[in-house]
């Protein structure tokens, strides 16, 4: 396995959890505290900073599109991230 960096914990959240929670985040299914934790992680995590451009840009972009399209975009971004890690 080459995805050990996804096990890095920053701000109490693993990179892997951030990826796993992205869909729920976009669905508005997470608590405000959880959203804050994810954002804190993304702000401080050097691993996520490597692909954070993707994530941050995607999140910003996704806020402007419908939920139906969000999942497709998230899935494609996650696929790309996981494939390149």
Kindly list the residues in this chain that would bind Zn ion in the complex (CB under 5 A). Answer: 15, 45, 47-48
Which one, 66 or 77, has the nearer CB to Zn ion? 77
In the complex, least distance from residue 21 CB atom to Zn ion, rounded to whole angstroms: 12
Which one, 26 or 81, has the nearer CB to Zn ion? 81
Q: How far is CA 50 from the centre of its chain?
A: 12
Cα 34 from Cα 11, distance rounded (Å): 11
Partner residues linked to 10 by β-bridges:
13
Which one, 45 or 81, has the nearer CB to Zn ion? 45
The structure tokens listed for 3 are 């995805």
């Amino acid at each position: 396995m080459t995805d050990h960096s996804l096990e890095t914990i920053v701000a109490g959240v693993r990179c892997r959890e951030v990826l796993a929670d992205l869909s729920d985040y976009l669905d508005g299914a997470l608590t405000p505290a959880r959203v804050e934790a994810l954002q804190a992680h993304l702000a401080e995590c050097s691993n996520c900073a490597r692909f954070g451009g993707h994530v941050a840009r995607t999140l910003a972009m996704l806020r402007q599109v419908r939920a139906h399209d969000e999942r497709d975009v998230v899935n494609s971004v996650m696929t790309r991230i996981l494939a390149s890690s």
